[in-house]
Amino acid sequence: MKEKIEEIKNKSIKEIKELIDLKQLEELRIKYLGKKGELTALLKGLKDVAESQRPIIGNLVNDVRNNLETLISEKETELKERELNKKLEQEKIDITIPGNKLKRGSIHPLNRIIEDMEDLFVSMGYDVVTGPELETDEFCFERLNLPKGHPARDMQDSFYITDEYLLRTQTSSVQARTMIANTEKTPIRMITCGKTYRREDDATHSHQFNQIEGLVIDKKDAHVSLADLKGTLEVFVKKIIGANLDLRFRPSYFPFTEPSYEVDVTCFKCGGKGCNLCKGTGWIEVLGSGIVHPNVLKVNGYDPDQYGGFAFGTGIDRLAMFRYGITDMRYLYTNDVRFLNQFDRKDEE
């Protein structure tokens, strides 16, 4: 009996070592531990063993059985691991093949810069307002100290629909609208961005373009001054156009402000050394600005003796061209998808 047990033990251990898959392992388990297995048969045969020997033999068989079960379990784990590894090996893919993506969209460079400008001014307590593009002569000109026949209207040759209605030539129309709408005549801090239209079309002028306009009005005792305008535009230029650009305020003339200033910044292209873009001056004109003209305050319901402030405005198209290095203004309006697709990521901070 003992020999028989020993034989089964040795045989099964040998067989386990040799088998290579889970199926063979299961067969082995059945062969030894199944209902009709060899070890099971030995246990069943215990009744024929002498009673005194029975516990000894019984223990012996159980030890072999336990040992075998452990071995089978260990072998099972080993085989499962091996099979999984095999499967994983088979499932290996070419990770260099491109991922599955939706089509990628983009945001037009002009709106990118508009959003940045809006965020900047909102952070300084300005309200972002809007106004109509189909405007009346009254709001576009007359309420901005530009009566009919004023020579400065020549600078803004316009698209009229009727004698009274035109496509706005400047976002300044929103200044007048904001002042009129503010019936309480409380202080104003606003900007507006949007499309504007002038009757000219050439290599450097598009008949449709975009402007930003800002207006600050406060009580005289708040002393909103040219120095404040300078400081505000310094922030604007450095945040929106370029941190290392210098500004130059140059006295100029606009009917809606007095005094009026044009603001030049260091030439984007040559950095101030002088080139064809800046006509050798090292400066590029970017903004128009000034102290709100008393007539503009008066005609829009603010008493110029009690209120004062500043206004500024600029074309956005050129700023967008500079920021992204766009070489031709026409790219902004032809909407070639090879152009648009380039604006499909977030701007650097």
Partner 1 sequence: MKLSLNFVKDYVDIPENVSLKDLAEDMTRVGNEYDSAEKLVNSTNLVIGEVLSCVNHPDSDHLHLCKVNVGKEMLNIVCGAPNVREGLKVIVALNGAELPGGIVIKKSMIRGQESNGMLCALYEIGIEKKYLSEADKNGICELPKDAPIGEDPIKYLKLDDSFIDFELTANRGDLLSVLGMAYEISSIYDKKVTLPELKHSESGENIEKEFETIVETDNCSLFLTRKAKDVVIKESPDFIKNRLIASGIRPINNVVDISNYVMLELGQPLHFYDADNLGNKILVRMAEKNEKITTLDGIDRTLTEDDIVITDGKKPVGLAGVMGGLNTEVESTTKNVIIEAAIFDNVKIRKTSNKILRSEASNRFEKGLDPARTYMAIERACMLLEKYADAKIATGILKYDKTNNKEKEIKIEYQFINDVLGTNIPKEDILDVFRKLKFETKPEKDYVIVIVPTRRIDISIKEDLVEEVGRIYGVDKIVGKLPVVSMKMGSVDKTLRKIRHKMSNLGLNETLSYILMNDKEVKRFTCDEFEPLKLLDPITEDRNTLRYSMIPSLYKIYEYNKARENKDVCLFEIGKGFWNKNGTFGEDQKICVLMTGKYYNKIGYNEEINFYDIKGVTEELLDFLGYGNRYSFVMPKNIPQEFHPGQVAEISVNNDIVGIVGKIHPKVEENNVFVMEINLSKLLEKKVSKMKFKEISKFPVIKKDISVLVDKSISSQELETRIKKKAGKLLLDIKLFDVYEGKNIIDKNKRSLAYSLTFGDPAKTLNDDEINVILEKIIEDLAKSGIELRK
270-309 residues near partner 1, rule: CB under 8 A: 279, 281, 291, 293-294, 308
Burial class of residue 102 in the structure, from the number of CB atoms within 10 Å of its CB (0-12 exposed, 13-18 middle, 19+ buried): exposed
Token pair for 48: 């024929």
Site for partner 1 in 70-109 (CB under 8 A): 97-98, 100-108
Region of 187 please: left (phi>0), alpha (psi -120 to 50) or beta.
beta
Comparing CB distances to partner 1, the nearer of 183 and 335 is 335
Site for partner 1 in 27-56 (CB under 8 A): none
Q: Which residues pair with 291 in a beta bridge?
A: 310
Site for partner 1 in 127-146 (CB under 8 A): 127-128, 132-134
- Interface pick for partner 1 out of 259, 271, 272, 301 (rule CB under 8 A): 259
Site for partner 1 in 108-127 (CB under 8 A): 108, 110-111, 115, 118, 121-127
Contact 169, 288 (CB under 8 A): no
Q: What is the Cα gyration radius of the chain?
A: 43
- In whole angstroms, what is the distance from residue 272 CA to residue 246 CA? 9
The CA-to-CA distance between both ends of the chain, in Å, stands at 85
Comparing CB distances to partner 1, the nearer of 151 and 325 is 151
- Interface pick for partner 1 out of 15, 27, 76, 258 (rule CB under 8 A): 258
In the complex, least distance from residue 153 CB atom to partner 1, rounded to whole angstroms: 10
Comparing CB distances to partner 1, the nearer of 12 and 156 is 156
In the complex, least distance from residue 236 CB atom to partner 1, rounded to whole angstroms: 11
Number of shown-chain residues binding partner 1 (CB under 8 A)? 90
Comparing CB distances to partner 1, the nearer of 12 and 260 is 260
CB-hemisphere CA count at 13 Å for 268? 19
Comparing CB distances to partner 1, the nearer of 48 and 151 is 151
- 98 secondary structure, DSSP code: P
Token pair for 58: 């019984």
- Interface pick for partner 1 out of 4, 13, 116, 253 (rule CB under 8 A): 253
Comparing CB distances to partner 1, the nearer of 308 and 313 is 308
Which of 159, 163, 161, 165 has the alpha carbon at shortest distance from 196? Answer: 159
In the complex, least distance from residue 346 CB atom to partner 1, rounded to whole angstroms: 11
In the complex, least distance from residue 334 CB atom to partner 1, rounded to whole angstroms: 6
Comparing CB distances to partner 1, the nearer of 52 and 99 is 99
Q: Which residues pair with 315 in a beta bridge?
A: 211
In the complex, least distance from residue 23 CB atom to partner 1, rounded to whole angstroms: 37
Whole-angstrom CA distances from 206 to 134, 158, 196, 348 are 18, 13, 10, 29
Site for partner 1 in 316-345 (CB under 8 A): 332-338, 340-341, 344
Beta-strand pair 283-292/257-266: antiparallel
Comparing CB distances to partner 1, the nearer of 27 and 133 is 133
Region near partner 1 per CB under 8 A, out of 40-48, 55-63, 68-76, 159-167: 159-167
- In whole angstroms, what is the distance from residue 43 CA to residue 66 CA? 13
Comparing CB distances to partner 1, the nearer of 41 and 226 is 226
Comparing CB distances to partner 1, the nearer of 327 and 334 is 334
Whole-angstrom CA distances from 129 to 121, 175, 179, 288, 340 are 12, 10, 12, 19, 27
- In whole angstroms, what is the distance from residue 40 CA to residue 29 CA? 11
What would you measure as the largest C-alpha separation in the chain, in angstroms? 134
Token pair for 74: 């260990």
In the complex, least distance from residue 299 CB atom to partner 1, rounded to whole angstroms: 14
Site for partner 1 in 191-250 (CB under 8 A): 195, 197, 199-201, 207-208, 216, 218, 220, 222-235, 248-250
Token pair for 158: 């316009």
In the complex, least distance from residue 285 CB atom to partner 1, rounded to whole angstroms: 8
Token pair for 331: 């790219």
